[in-house]
């Protein structure tokens, strides 16, 4: 080789290297998108992918905070990606064909894709990207099918041709809602990756994870993994459910705050990476890209738009709003009976008694231990006669080792072909759960739903349970994959595995290659609990002919249509009590509004102080259950000292008095797409102080709950938004608002404040909700700064499946006008079986003395005016709220 050739080659090499180096000189670090997310990355592995390898330079980012988690391996700006080859207008929007000529680092790269841009509604936009040639798995969730393009949208779509990218902006403000140009699109058979810029670092949602409400993307790269998993809640681990939905705040040019949301409709295992650009990256190992963008512009709007896709929450039975008592470790019926008796002797209200797996015979589903829980069927019937309901636990694993003919659930299931099978085989796949070797029903099979209904019905003839608790349905197994291991195919060993706990998709669950009717378990794993909840809901409707109550541990987007949820196997710690608040707030966003956490903690022994604080907080969970584990000491309220019992009782009585308010909120959730509990930022969107608050929350937009979450503390550092607030239930108006303040919070008190502008319906509590249904009602009226307020009340028999559809209910609206006129209007009055008598009205913030009260045109003398607290009490009313279509209560003051 001549010297000239060497020189030329050197010049060419330098030229290529300079070009490559230019593609890698990305500044600042926040623009790096991880090209090697797997463990044990190295320069050699990175460069094999034609990506950039650079160690981070010591620097701070634009917020002057040090960045953490900066990827060493990242995409160059010229990384191979797709370009547009055709674009046509369709009835639903646009259909674009894209292709790329060069494969990338994952096997079976798909070079030709179709992009559907669907203008579904004025506020909802959908992006679908899929293989142009071969049909791929899509999530079997019933979602709206839109065939005609919406007009007058508040979003505008543009796209880059080469490289292909989509840009979505809000027309009214110009703010970017989606921008995929920040990183390359990769679409291989088992690896799909795309990114988009976030509007701000203020991000919420993305469950199920134990994390604060506000997800920090300001100064770190953060990874969240989505794949249903049985593991006690802790941070940085994928947990029981999958909800790839988020809300993102955006600042407008005029310094207002709007909100939009995204929902990635994909059920395969995935990672979602967040970085401080700010940006979000979705990496999934199957299916297609099916992304919804909801333009809000308020939090309530975004959630309503999301629920229009996944479905509204189910309306729970009335009795399920009361106090539930359970434990794993009663061990025998005598202990369970004595626990309930001491609760009743101490005059605690209670509505539901539960049993865990210790009540089963050898842990077999749809059985009870006739030795240790002898007489359970009769005892349940006796409870029901007294208005107390009963819920039992059912796990999906069905024992396969009982002698032939001795265990009907397995024998019938085998005969009817309802169990999951091994890959490409008719042979059953077996895991191991509490009863030993178990087969797993395939709830995507209609035959399974019929079998499930039949065996549940047969057990209901023995023990007439009122609801079903479906646990271990991730699905969970005590062995990895199966008793026989898994295959070595690409379903069990994909080219990329998201960062699931246990490092393998088969860790403590079934092989991904297991077969279900609709698809492989690889695709459906995270929907197992969804389909079981759907089947259980159907079974209960069929068996009881009443409104079903289902409690599921594993959930997926849309599960709220069928089930309630609790946050799983938490611990008896103050930090776990705190994390329950962002959890219930998130699940309300996710459409599972009937949600709570195991009060006082499931694992570890609780303490008196912790249990008191948790009972006070739990009284304001939508779903309220005290539950703990095998080997832990008793923690039912009546097991504590007399003094502690009185404090817990006050919290319970406060909850029970608010049941009409709670029940109406559930009606609004199921019919009007309104969350039951809300974060403060949802109502005070332009108040930056609220963005990071997750130790307080709102109920029905009206009650502000500020619990004490710290040990040995007698105060709560709380934020009181700029508004009118009254102490609840006392009714004294707060003078200091719009600031952080230290509220007195001795062990006997939970701070609750009522927001001005709301009217709260309440009821005198009974021993349980069934016995108290006929008790008189109370109205608490909290005027706004303008002297107005409103409220409503939904009331039916509490159990009928179709009372809403048939309008067999009563619906009343209350309104305060001019600071002195309260009107009760009846909009629907078709439920006549229960008296609705109003006994007391409590009007707050009446700042001048009252000299007369007039009810329906007649003077009324039973009233009291409290001058120091400015409260008007109108008592002894005995007013039938259904007697007239409209009734008025007025009062005159000394200055009128």
Classify residue 342 by its DSSP letter. Answer: H
Is 807 strand, coil or helix? Answer: coil
Token pair of 829 as six digits = 């009055």
User: DSSP secondary-structure letter at 266?
Assistant: -
Q: Helix and strand tally (H, E) in the chain?
A: 15, 50
Q: Residue 4 CB: number of other CB atoms within 10 A? A: 8
Contact (Cβ atoms closer than 8 angstroms) between residue 292 and residue 300? no
The alpha helices in 109-243, defined as continuous H runs, are none
* Rounded Cα distance, 719 and 726, in Å: 14
Active site residue 694: no
Based on the number of CB atoms within 10 Å of its own CB, is 554 exposed (0-12), middle (13-18) or buried (19 or more)? Answer: buried
Which is catalytic among the residues 271, 474, 569, 598? Answer: 474
| Cα 602 to Cα 580: distance, rounded to the nearest angstrom | 13
Q: Contact, 443 vs 532, CB < 8 A?
A: yes
Handedness of CA 302, 304, 309, 311 (dihedral sign): positive
Q: Cα(324)–Cα(320) distance, rounded to whole angstroms? A: 8
The DSSP letter of residue 734 is P
604, 581, 657, 648: which is closest to 213 by C-alpha?
A: 581
Question: 657 CB contacts (<8 Å, ≥6 apart)?
Answer: 729, 762, 763, 764, 765, 778
112 within 8 A of 132, measured Cβ to Cβ: yes
**CA atoms of 284 and 616, how far apart (whole Å):** 41
- Containing H/E element for 24? helix 3-24
Mutual angle of helices 608-618 and 642-657, in 10-degree steps: 10
Matching residue, tokens 């790329």: 100
Q: Is 517 exposed, middle or buried (0-12, 13-18, 19+ CB in 10 A)?
A: middle
CA 739 to chain centre: 29
Question: Rounded CA gap, 2 and 480, in Å?
Answer: 62
CB neighbour list of residue 348: distance below 8 Å, 6 or more residues apart: 323, 637, 638, 645, 648, 649, 652
In the Cβ-directed half-sphere of 620, how many Cα atoms lie within 13 Å?
Answer: 27
- Could you give the CA distance from residue 61 to residue 19 in angstroms, rounded to a whole number? 26
Give the max Cα distance, the chain.
Answer: 115
Radius of gyration for the alpha carbons in the chain, expressed in angstroms and rounded: 29
Q: What's the rounded Cα separation, in Å, for the pair 867 and 855?
A: 22
DSSP assignment letter at 224: E
CA dist., res. 162 & res. 173, Å (int): 27
First to last CA, the chain: 109
H helix runs in 273-403, sequence order = 299-310, 333-345, 376-385
d(CA 49, CA 85): 26
Strand order of the β-sheet with 222-226 is 186-188, 191-197, 279-284, 270-275, 222-226
Choose the catalytic residue: 208, 471, 532, 683: 471
**Residue 401 tokens, joined:** 């080792």
138 is catalytic: no
| 574-589 and 608-618 helices, crossing angle to 10° | 10
Helix (H) or strand (E) holding 7, with range, is: helix 3-24
Catalytic residue positions, numbered: 471, 474
């Amino acid at each position: 080789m001549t010297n000239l050739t060497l020189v030329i080659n050197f010049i060419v090499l330098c030229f290529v290297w300079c070009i490559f180096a230019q593609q890698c000189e990305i500044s600042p670090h926040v623009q790096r998108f991880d090209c090697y997310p797997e463990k044990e990355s190295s320069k050699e592995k990175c460069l094999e992918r034609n990506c950039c390898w650079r160690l981070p330079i010591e620097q701070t980012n634009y917020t002057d905070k040090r960045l953490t988690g900066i990827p060493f391996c990242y995409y160059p700006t010229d990384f191979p990606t797709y370009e547009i080859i055709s674009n046509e207008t369709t009835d639903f929007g646009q259909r674009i064909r894209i292709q790329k000529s060069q494969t990338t680092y994952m096997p079976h790269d798909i070079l030709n894709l179709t992009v559907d841009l669907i203008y579904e509604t004025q506020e909802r936009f959908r992006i679908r990207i899929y293989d142009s040639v071969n049909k791929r798995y899509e999530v079997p969730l019933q979602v709206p099918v839109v065939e005609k393009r919406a007009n007058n949208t508040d979003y505008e779509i543009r796209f880059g041709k080469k490289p292909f990218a989509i840009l979505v902006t809000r027309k009214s403000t110009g703010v970017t809602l989606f921008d995929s140009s920040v990183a390359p699109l990769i679409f291989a058979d088992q690896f799909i990756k795309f990114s988009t810029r976030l509007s701000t670092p203020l991000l919420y949602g993305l469950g199920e994870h134990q994390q604060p409400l506000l997800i920090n993307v300001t100064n770190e790269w953060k990874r969240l993994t989505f794949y249903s998993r049985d593991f006690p809640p802790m941070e940085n681990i994928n947990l029981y459910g999958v909800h790839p939905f988020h809300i993102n705040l955006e600042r407008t040019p005029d310094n207002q705050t709007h909100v939009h949301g995204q929902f990635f409709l994909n059920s395969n295992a995935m990672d979602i990476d967040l970085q401080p650009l700010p940006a979000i990256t979705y990496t999934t190992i199957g299916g297609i890209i099916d992304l919804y963008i909801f333009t809000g512009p308020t939090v309530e709007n975004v959630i309503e738009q999301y629920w229009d896709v996944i479905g509204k929450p189910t309306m729970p039975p009335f009795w399920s709003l009361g106090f539930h008592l359970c434990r794993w470790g009663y061990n025998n019926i005598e202990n369970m009976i004595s626990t309930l008796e001491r609760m009743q002797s101490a005059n605690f209200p209670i509505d539901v008694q539960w049993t865990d797996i210790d009540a089963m015979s050898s842990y077999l589903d749809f059985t009870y231990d006739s030795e240790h829980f002898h007489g359970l069927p009769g005892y349940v019937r006796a409870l029901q006669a007294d208005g107390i309901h009963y819920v039992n636990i059912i796990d999906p694993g069905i024992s396969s080792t009982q002698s032939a003919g001795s265990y009907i659930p397995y024998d019938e299931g085998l005969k009817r072909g309802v169990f999951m099978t091994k890959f490409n085989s008719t042979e059953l796949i077996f895991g191991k759960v509490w009863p030993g070797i178990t087969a797993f029903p395939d709830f995507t099979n209609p035959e399974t739903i019929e079998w499930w209904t039949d065996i549940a019905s047969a057990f209901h003839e023995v023990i007439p349970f009122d609801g079903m608790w479906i646990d271990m349905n991730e699905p969970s197994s005590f062995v990895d994959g199966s008793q026989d291991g898994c295959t070595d195919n690409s379903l069990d060993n994909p080219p990329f595995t998201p960062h699931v706990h246990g490092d393998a998709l088969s860790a403590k669950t079934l092989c991904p290659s297991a077969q279900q009717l609709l698809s492989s378990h690889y695709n459906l794993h995270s929907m197992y609990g969804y389909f079981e909840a759907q089947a259980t809901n159907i079974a209960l409707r069929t068996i009881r002919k009443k409104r079903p109550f289902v409690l599921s541990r594993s959930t997926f987007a849309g599960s709220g249509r069928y089930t309630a949820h609790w946050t799983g196997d938490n611990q008896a710690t103050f930090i776990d009590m705190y994390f329950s608040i962002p959890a219930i707030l998130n699940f309300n966003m996710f459409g599972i509004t009937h949600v709570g956490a195991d009060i006082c903690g499931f694992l570890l022994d609780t303490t008196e102080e912790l249990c008191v604080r948790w009972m006070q907080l739990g009284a304001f969970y939508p779903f309220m259950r005290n539950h703990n584990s095998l080997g832990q000491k008793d923690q039912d309220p009546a097991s504590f000292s007399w003094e502690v019992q009185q404090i817990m009782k006050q919290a319970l009585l406060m909850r029970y008095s608010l049941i009409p308010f709670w029940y109406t909120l559930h009606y609004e959730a199921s019919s009007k797409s309104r969350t039951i509990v809300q974060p403060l930022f949802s109502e005070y969107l332009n108040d930056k102080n609220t963005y990071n608050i997750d130790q307080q929350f709102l109920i029905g937009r009206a009650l502000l709950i500020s619990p004490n979450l710290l040990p040995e503390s007698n105060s709560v550092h709380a934020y009181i938004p700029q508004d009118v607030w009254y102490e609840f239930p006392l009714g004294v108006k707060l003078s200091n608002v719009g600031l952080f303040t230290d509220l007195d919070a001795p062990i006997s008190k939970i701070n609750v404040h009522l927001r001005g502008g709301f009217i709260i319906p309440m009821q005198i509590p009974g021993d349980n909700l069934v016995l108290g249904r006929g008790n008189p009602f109370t109205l608490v009226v909290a005027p706004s700064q303008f002297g107005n307020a409103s409220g409503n009340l939904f009331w039916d028999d509490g159990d009928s499946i179709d009372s809403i559809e048939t309008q067999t209910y009563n619906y009343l609206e209350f309104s305060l006008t001019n600071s002195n006129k309260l009107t009760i209007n009846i909009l629907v009055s078709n439920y006549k079986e229960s008296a609705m008598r109003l006994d007391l009205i409590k009007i707050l913030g009446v700042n001048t003395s009252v000299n007369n009260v007039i009810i329906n045109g007649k003077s009324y003398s039973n009233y009291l005016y409290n001058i120091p607290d400015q409260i008007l009490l109108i008592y002894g009313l005995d007013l039938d709220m259904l007697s007239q279509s409209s009734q008025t209560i007025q009062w005159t003051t000394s200055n009128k």
